[in-house]
Amino acid sequence: MLILLSVYGALNCYGQADDRWYILSLGDKPAGYYHEQSEMRVEHNQSTIRSESGFKISLSRLGSQVDMQSTVVQIEDKTGRLKSILSETFLSKQKSQVSAKIEDDKIEVTTSTGGKDSYQEIKNTDPLTGTEGVRLLSVKGLNMPGDSIVYETFYPEFNMVLVGVRKFVRRENMEFGGKLISVTKAVESFRNLPIKRELWLDRSGRLVKTSEPNPYGQLTFVLSNKYSSIKAASVKVELSEDTYAATVVRSNIRLPQSRQIQSITIKIKLKNQAEGFPDFTGPYQQLIEKKPDYVVLKIWSPKIGENIESRDSTYKNQFLVANSFLDKDDTLIISTARQIVGAEMDPCRKAILIRNWVTMNMKFSPGIVLAPSSEVIRNMEGTCCSYATITATLCRAAGIPSRYLMGYVYTDGIWAGHAWTEIYVANSWVPIDAAVPSPGGIADAARFYYVRSSMNNGPGECLIGGQQLYSNVDIEILSYTLNDKPIKPDYRVCEVTNSGYNNEGLGISMRKIRDLEFYDTNKVFPENILFSMRSKDSEESVKVYQYSITPGLDLTTEISACLKDASVDGAPVETSYNESRSFKLSKGNKSAMAIVNGSDIYIIVAQGKNSESLLEESLKSFRYKEYPSINS
């Protein structure tokens, strides 16, 4: 989605030529093409300029293919004043369309996704500039250092009128096609979007090159030819683990029982202050301190009716209506919601039933990024975005006002971009999360949001905060509350010595066994392993994993799934270890014990010729802080 945000900026702001092709690169890898063309038309004795631009990019994300393609058509008058826009986007075969007609006092916007149309009027009396208009302004206004131009345009993907600013930097010579050409280097930014890019324009104000930072690497467009540009789009770009690691934030500590954290105070520090911060304020999320380079937030898991917001029916209705992404009027959505909630009348219990159903029936798929609920309900797979979309839509179908949240969530040693749902019950907003569910229903506090959206105007506003934060922040946990006990961590993530492993935050330790050496002590999500021990001279090894219990899922079934993830197949036998509910499994040269502790599951896997005795020795060496059992 963040790549789309950057490319959308290109589609709506670059100058046009008759027919120009560009190679689109991500980092140092060609990843697609960008194409633009324009022509003058005369209709009813009036001259108009039709500009068409498009891009195509193909990426491999966590083993799944993500294909993005878009086309934008703009109509301007001969002075460059924008009259209409039609934008079509395909994201992994999911089509969305936005059309905008610019009138003297308003913009009429129609959004179509998954066969559902939604209409919106945006009040606007200022003249808007199209791509040809921006080119003409650049030719006239960017001639000397310090020169700048200001224009207003419309982004259909975000349903926003934006103020763009281009500033002259210097004249340069750039090699193109074996020849040096004179170009104008400029910097372009937007007053209400966190986008800042460098542009190189020829004498006629047309684009030669552009470059801007992106969470997945520097995004550049370079003028080329049709053959080379299309060839660049035919190559699948495999984003490396390091690329994805850059989009998540390692935590300064490991949180114990993370899905039960009652409150947390964090410091969010910007790497690049120019991006600025989104608006973090809202219920159960308090801005404690704000500086240019950091903010301190306190987040807590709210109780029903805790943050009263008595609202009239007009306010609540905007979170109950169907739109192109949350189509609560879809026939399958309606019948599914009825089946899930049955005769239940309490709004909160209905919402938890819906959350549990989504958790147990959805399948995670990294290739499906942002799809409308009418598609999600039929495919039942996607990222956390799809989990949030279908949860919010089913809640609306069940008569519960809901909205879509985007932010960060803590899991397994990292903070990662995430989407979840918020519902309005008992005159208060409370969060629920089907992708990373918490016991009891209401989402835990180990998360923070940067946008809360009805999605009635499309997903654009959800992308903006992410552009500001992804790959641009460090997050430090200053304190947290668990089981009503406030904790201020003053320890490291873990310590490994010659005598053993110790993780004070999790309350886990293990003495060194035999001649085994410690490995894998710095793994984070999506890895579940905490650490391992193995011998260089034998096939003996011990591995320790941590998993979170999924509310609503049968525990025995989940234990089997966790053991399989830890490469131990078979049917475990329930037993007891250290008065904790446990499950044991021995098969071949592997033996494993799964220990249930609060909302976590610890799995110890011993491998070797005498795996059972190695497991017993490991269990005697393993220590963990006990937490009370939970009701999911």
Structural tokens at position 171: 């004249």
* 403, HSE (Cβ side, Cα atoms, 13 Å): 23
DSSP of 451-493? EEE--TT-SHHHHHHHHHHTTSEEEEEEEEEETTEEE---S-S
pLDDT tens, residue by residue, 557-592: 999 999 999 999 999 999 988 888 999 999 989 999
Helix axes 384-397, 347-361, angle to 10 degrees: 140
Give the residues of the chain that fall short of pLDDT 70.
1-18, 40-45, 60-65, 92-93, 114, 192, 215, 238-246, 367-369, 460, 463-465, 631-632
d(CA 315, CA 438): 28
Compute CA distances 632 → 437, 516, 613, whole Å.
10, 38, 34
Cβ 61 vs Cβ 239: under 8 Å: yes
Contacts of 160 (CB under 8 A, 6+ apart): 154, 192, 193, 460, 461
Half-sphere exposure of 531 (CA within 13 A, CB side): 23
Q: What pLDDT is stored for residue 407 in this prediction?
A: 93
Q: Facing residues of 291 across strands?
A: none
Please report, as a single letter, which amino acid is at residue 461.
E
- The predicted pLDDT at position 234 comes to 82
The answer to whether 492 and 241 are in contact (CB under 8 A) is no
499-549 confidence digits (pLDDT tens)? 899 999 999 999 999 889 999 998 888 889 999 999 887 789 999 999 999
Nearest-angstrom CA–CA distance, 339 and 348: 16
For tokens 């293990």, name the residue: 510
pLDDT at 488: 94
- What's the rounded Cα separation, in Å, for the pair 355 and 85? 38
Q: What domains, with CATH codes, occur in the chain?
A: 2-242 (no CATH), 249-487 (3.10.620.30), 495-624 (3.40.1000.10)
Which of 283, 287, 322, 321 shows the shortest CA–CA distance to 303? Answer: 283
What contacts 407, CB < 8 A, 6 or more positions away?
417, 418, 447, 448, 449, 450, 451, 465
Let me know: does 72 contact 35? Beta carbons within 8 Å. no
